[in-house]
Amino acid sequence: MKPIISIANILCFAMLLCGVPSAVAQTIMDGRVTMRDVAVSRNNDKLFVSMDIDVSTLDVSTNREVIITPRLTAGADTLDLPAVMVAGRSRYYHHLRNGVQPSDTELYRSGKTSVIKYRTVVPYVAWMGKAVLGAANETCGCCSESLDGGSAPLLALDLEPKLPKKFAPEFIYVRPEAMQKINVLEGSAYIDFPVSRTEIYPDYRRNPVELQKIIATIDAVRNDSDSRIIELTIKGYASPESPYSNNERLAKGRTKSLKNYVQQQYSFPESIISTDYEPEDWAGLERYVASSSLAAKDGILALIRTDMDPDEKEARIKRNYPVDYAFLLKEVYPGLRHSDYAVKYEVRAYTDIDEIKRLIKTQPSKLSLNEMYLAARDMVPGSAEFEETFDIAVRMYPDDPVANLNAANASMQAGDMKRAQRYLDNAGSSPEAGYARGVYAAISGDYDSALRLFVEAERRGVAKATAMIKHINEIK
């Protein structure tokens, strides 16, 4: 005899029958049949019905049969589920020989079966959500005589979807634009020159250390197979002691000498190295004085900020504030004689996700926002790795609105609302940023603000905002 449903469906029952259970056993046919463990659940478009039908006290005479039909009813809508037939001896063998019982009715012999494990699955229809599960019974005998025993209710269903008590957000991550990765390494070197000379002596005073700073910066890029130097800039400065014309000669000549020194080390193409010079570093002097505690600080700053001739300006500082000038000449001016350098380089593009993930941990400065985004798509949303990736992205690109927007979403998804707020403050004014602020407001329970932000995001073309508006209205 075939089971009511397949073994696979029985396994489904074990996992899914959690919709509407009944802990109270119910009887029909004047107590001769007992329904126990009645349960109904829904899984998408299927309805699962389960019960144990105890027929141990049902005594059916040899020429009779009892048909029990579980039935769903909701107003005018009714569905009879597959029935079970408990037959006396003669009727049982009659059906076995002739197969005359309905195809969806399972046959059992009275006195030989105690409990029928009833399991069935039917397509779910909307009206079933509020239906009543009942059990009809009918007693039949030979010569087609039939006695309708009526129907008894077993379980009232409540399978309609419940409105969520909490806001369930959908996050929108924005893919950054692919871009050329141009980075810059910068530094300052303090090369010592003999008085009024412009030639570089590599072993003179502290020059070995200062020149090595420049070499180390260049080598850091040259020795990286993923990077290519595209420009090297050098700008030389002299200190403000007069005359200005001599300082201009020194700044220009010393900058040229430093360029020649670098060329001797590397033989770069001429087009790569560019130079500039500043005859007197008044900006550097102003920064120092502004942060100092010099007695004549205000007066010196006032003179520095005038538009008078540089030699006259310097002469007035020396004449009006001799004590402070002597200090500046000895302690500050040497630091104003410096060469600033910058190595601009391009990093190759990465397409291998595993390589990108490794670089996120070790050298994130090599990666673009787009590359980190591609790696994040291969991670579990809401995971620590996922959140960390967007956090690193915004640390590498702190002023980028898209980096901040994605980091805000990742923080909200991980439940870190304080960090999310900080990122949202820098996420810009894009439609997606407005949508994310709506998500933040909704998670925080401010549904009025969330609704206003979602409506604006919808107006600006964010498709998911429509569903969020509906969601908020259902909650409210």
Q: What's the pLDDT tens digit per position in 271-284? A: 999 999 999 999 99
Task: Check which CATH number belongs to the domain holding 123 and give it.
Answer: 2.60.40
Same-domain status, 139 and 282: no
- Which residues have a Cβ under 8 Å from the Cβ of 302 and sit 6 or more positions away? none
Residue 108 has pLDDT above 90, yes or no: yes
Structure tokens at 368: 């673009």
Domain count, the chain: 3
Is 203 buried (19+), middle (13-18) or exposed (0-12) by CB count in 10 A? exposed
Residue 228 lies in a domain: yes
Task: Check which CATH number belongs to the domain holding 194 and give it.
Answer: 3.30.1330.60
List Cα–Cα distances, 126 to 8, 47, 133, 471, in angstroms: 25, 11, 15, 21
The whole-number pLDDT of residue 79 equals 95
Q: Which residue has the tokens 């063998």?
A: 93
Task: Tell me the one-letter amino acid at 256.
Answer: K
- Which residues have a Cβ under 8 Å from the Cβ of 295 and sit 6 or more positions away? 321, 323, 324
Residue 263 lies in a domain: yes
Same-domain status, 341 and 219: yes
The whole-number pLDDT of residue 22 equals 66
Task: Tell me the one-letter amino acid at 113.
Answer: T
The whole-number pLDDT of residue 297 equals 96
Same-domain status, 188 and 143: no
- Which residues have a Cβ under 8 Å from the Cβ of 70 and sit 6 or more positions away? 49, 51, 80, 81, 82, 83, 118, 120, 133, 134, 135, 154
Quote the pTM value: 0.56
Same-domain status, 241 and 389: no
- What is the separation of C-alpha 366 from the centre of its chain, rounded to a whole number of angstroms? 21
What pairing do the DSSP bridges indicate for beta strands 64-74 and 132-141?
Answer: antiparallel
Residue 136 lies in a domain: yes
Share of the chain above pLDDT 90, in %: 80
Would you give the DSSP letter of residue 311? H
Instruction: Quote the longest CA-to-CA distance of the chain.
Output: 135
The whole-number pLDDT of residue 7 equals 35
Same-domain status, 332 and 187: yes
pLDDT in tens, 47-73: 999 999 999 999 999 999 999 999 999
List Cα–Cα distances, 347 to 114, 232, 268, 344, 426, in angstroms: 78, 15, 18, 10, 26
Residue 12 has pLDDT above 60, yes or no: no
Residue 173 lies in a domain: no
CA atoms of 286 and 317, how far apart (whole Å): 13
Share of the chain above pLDDT 70, in %: 93
The whole-number pLDDT of residue 14 equals 39
The whole-number pLDDT of residue 144 equals 65
Please list the residues that pair with 345 across neighbouring strands.
183, 229
Same-domain status, 309 and 207: yes
Which one of 345, 365, 383 terminates a domain? Answer: 345
The whole-number pLDDT of residue 162 equals 66
The whole-number pLDDT of residue 11 equals 37
CA atoms of 168 and 450, how far apart (whole Å): 13
pLDDT in tens, 354-412: 999 999 999 999 999 999 999 999 999 888 999 999 999 999 999 999 999 999 999 99
CA atoms of 155 and 146, how far apart (whole Å): 27
Residue 1 has pLDDT above 60, yes or no: no
List Cα–Cα distances, 232 to 220, 260, 267, in angstroms: 13, 13, 12
The whole-number pLDDT of residue 100 equals 65
**Among the listed ranges 102-111, 208-217, 316-325, which one has the minimum average pLDDT value?**
102-111
What is the sign of the dihedral through the CA atoms of 389, 393, 394 and 400?
negative
The whole-number pLDDT of residue 16 equals 39
pLDDT in tens, 139-187: 988 766 778 888 899 999 988 776 556 899 999 999 999 888 898 999 9
CA atoms of 54 and 23, how far apart (whole Å): 15
Q: Number of H helices and number of E strands within the chain?
A: 17, 15
Residue 49's domain comprises 7-156
Residue 4 has pLDDT above 80, yes or no: no
The whole-number pLDDT of residue 360 equals 95
List Cα–Cα distances, 287 to 79, 178, 230, 290, 293, in angstroms: 88, 39, 31, 5, 12
The whole-number pLDDT of residue 49 equals 96
Same-domain status, 187 and 334: yes
Which one of 141, 156, 171 terminates a domain? Answer: 156
Residue 190 has pLDDT above 50, yes or no: yes
Q: Are 461 and 431 in contact (CB under 8 A)?
A: yes
Task: Check which CATH number belongs to the domain holding 417 and give it.
Answer: 1.25.40.10
The whole-number pLDDT of residue 148 equals 80
Is residue 18 very low, low, confident or very high in pLDDT (cuts 50, 70, 90)? very low
Residue 6 has pLDDT above 60, yes or no: no
Same-domain status, 35 and 133: yes
Is residue 476 very low, low, confident or very high in pLDDT (cuts 50, 70, 90)? confident
CA atoms of 237 and 255, how far apart (whole Å): 8
The pLDDT of 426-450, averaged and rounded, is 96
Same-domain status, 265 and 401: no
Same-domain status, 317 and 394: no
| 12 or 267, greater pLDDT | 267
Same-domain status, 92 and 197: no
Same-domain status, 337 and 443: no
Whole-number average pLDDT of the chain = 90
